[in-house]
Structures are given as C-alpha cells and as structure tokens.
C-alpha cells in the first residue's frame, strides 16, 4: 500500500485555512504543512503570545506565508463568538476549518458550566463551526475536519441525554466529535462543503498535559515506541483536509496495528459513532447548550 505523506498534498495557494490550537503539537504541524503548500492561515489559539511565536516559526520554514492570528478560548462561548466575528470580518470564505484543539484529563467546568473536556473538545468547536457556516459554505469546495481519537471507542453518550456526565469524559468528547462530523456532513449535503474526521493514533503531544501521570506516561511511552511524532500524528488530518479523493463523512487515521501507528488511510469508527439517532440528539442538545443554531438543510 502506498504511503501518503505531505509530498502528496496539492497546491493550496489562495485557500484560506483556520486551524484551532495551532501553536503546538498536531495543530502546529498541520498549520506548518498547509502554509508550505501555500494556504493562507488563521491560527486560532487561546494564548496569543504562543500564537505569534508559532507564526514566526512557520514563516522561517515557509517564507512569505500569509498568517493571521485570533484569540480563541474554546472553554468560553463568548470567546468563540468574538473569534468567529473577527474571522468572518477578515475573510469572505473559509476553505478549510480544522477543529484540532483538544484537552484530556482536565477536570472542572468551562466558563459556561459544561464539563471541561466535553465543553472544549466538542461544544466549543460545534459553536465555532456554526458561527462560521456562511463563510464555509461560501467557498467552492470547503472541508471541515474535526480531530477525534481512538479513545472515542471508550466513550458513551446517552442518546436521550447527550450532555449527561457518564463514563470516560475524554472518550465521550471524542465520540461527540465523530457524531458531530457525521451529522454535519449530512447537513452540508446541499452545499459545496463536506465534513471529515481524523485521529492521530498514538502521537506524542501535550494533549496529555492535564492528565494524571499514570495515564500520561504510558501514552507518551507508546508514542515514542512507535515513533509517533506530532508531524506523523498530523498526517491523517492533512490527508482528510487536502486529498482530492476524500469524500464527506469519511474518517482517517494511521493504518497500522490498532490504528496506533502507520501512514494515514480510511479508518472505521465505533458503532456508537455511526448511530443516526445519537448523532441527531447530540446535535439538538448542542444547539440548545451553545445557543448556536445551524440552517435547517441537508439530507
């Protein structure tokens, strides 16, 4: 099987790409590769100082790159609204929205009272995507790529009460990413845009920075064992975002054993993630919780 790498990415000159959490890890490597192919970037990050530092690092390896930054704290719906307003004012279309930012092991609640991981990993991105809907659907062939995890298989969502804090909070938030992607793709059916999901496998990133050592250290050991650098971990996202053969509703991840290592290819998500009832119910509850309503369209 042929190994897909950044060398297979097409020219992205003239394309506008928004990447959340782009100052470090998978997000940074994703943004770097997109810039090297000519995309105009918007780095949407919680820490503007780190976003500016990432901008300079990208420009050193992609001279002439056009890069803007916007402050985005996914734990605050007010921040999500401000960021979407700024992005919309600066760009009449968005060709790529990469919902990458995420946390694991973070306890407590968001500014709006949601369980932290569900609020940041899912609800924040749900709101951002909805607020940017008009810009996404204005592009000729936009893609919304949401980064999930193989950990979604350990997540459970009550189809009658999707926001209920049950089971593995991180797994639940990553399952929500997939349920959101599949329902979003259906709702984009009458537009030029599609929604796709990806997961990095066992990549060594700082997503585990809030996790207990008993969870963080084994994951980092697995990443080192399989040589899963952030650059390798970003490949499934980049393929989902740029490969011309990708179609809406697909899911990409490493092709090796258990989806931990290898080069990106289509992956299969859990049966729970493919349940249309759970997809619709999560969507309805997400609109209620965030106050962000999407246009009623699609299949």
Cα atoms found within 13 Å of the Cα of residue 97, Cβ hemisphere only: 30
Pairing of strands 67-71, 40-45: parallel
Kindly state the tokens that stand for 190. 């009458």
CA dist., res. 29 & res. 41, Å (int):
13
CA dist., res. 299 & res. 296, Å (int):
10
**170 classed as catalytic:** yes
Q: Do residues 54 and 27 lie in contact, with contact meaning Cβ atoms separated by under 8 Å?
A: no
CA dist., res. 270 & res. 272, Å (int):
5
Catalytic residue among 170, 182, 251, 294: 170
Query: Which residues does residue 19 pair with via DSSP β-bridges, in sequence order?
Result: 43, 98
Q: What is the DSSP string of 69-112?
A: EEE--TT-HHHHHHHHHHHHHH-S--SEEEE----SS--SB-TT
Q: Do residues 197 and 98 lie in contact, with contact meaning Cβ atoms separated by under 8 Å?
A: no
Q: Residue length, the chain?
A: 299
- Judged by DSSP in three states, 259 sits in helix
Residues 6+ apart with CB under 8 A from 53: 23
Active site residues: 170
């Amino acid at each position: 099987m042929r190994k897909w790498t950044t060398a297979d990415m097409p020219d992205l000159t003239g394309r506008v790409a928004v990447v959340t959490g782009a100052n470090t890890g998978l997000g940074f490597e994703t943004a770097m590769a997109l810039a090297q192919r000519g995309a105009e970037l918007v780095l949407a990050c919680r820490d503007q100082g780190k976003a500016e530092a990432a901008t300079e690092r990208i420009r050193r390896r992609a001279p002439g790159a056009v890069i803007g930054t916007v402050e985005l704290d996914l734990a605050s719906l007010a921040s999500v609204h401000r960021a979407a307003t700024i992005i919309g004012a600066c760009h009449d279309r968005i060709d790529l929205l990469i919902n990458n930012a995420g946390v694991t092991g973070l306890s407590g609640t968001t500014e709006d009272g949601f369980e932290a991981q569900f609020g940041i990993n899912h609800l924040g991105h749900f709101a951002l995507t909805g607020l940017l809907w008009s810009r996404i659907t204005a592009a000729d062939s936009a893609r919304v790529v949401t980064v999930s995890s193989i950990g979604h298989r350990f997540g459970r969502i009550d189809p009658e009460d999707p926001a209920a804090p049950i089971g593995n909070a991180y797994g639940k938030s990553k399952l929500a990413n997939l349920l959101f992607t599949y329902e979003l793709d259906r709702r984009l059916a009458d537009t030029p845009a599609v929604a796709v999901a990806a997961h990095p496998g066992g990549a060594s990133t700082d997503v585990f920075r809030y996790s207990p050592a008993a969870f963080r250290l084994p994951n980092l050991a697995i990443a080192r064992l399989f040589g899963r650098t952030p650059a390798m971990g970003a490949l499934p996202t980049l393929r989902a975002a740029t490969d011309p053969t990708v179609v809406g509703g697909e899911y990409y991840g490493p092709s090796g054993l258990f989806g931990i290592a290898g080069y990106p290819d289509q992956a299969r998500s859990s049966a729970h993630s493919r349940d249309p009832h759970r997809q619709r119910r999560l969507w309805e509850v997400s609109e209620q919780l965030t106050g962000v309503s999407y246009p009623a369209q699609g299949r």
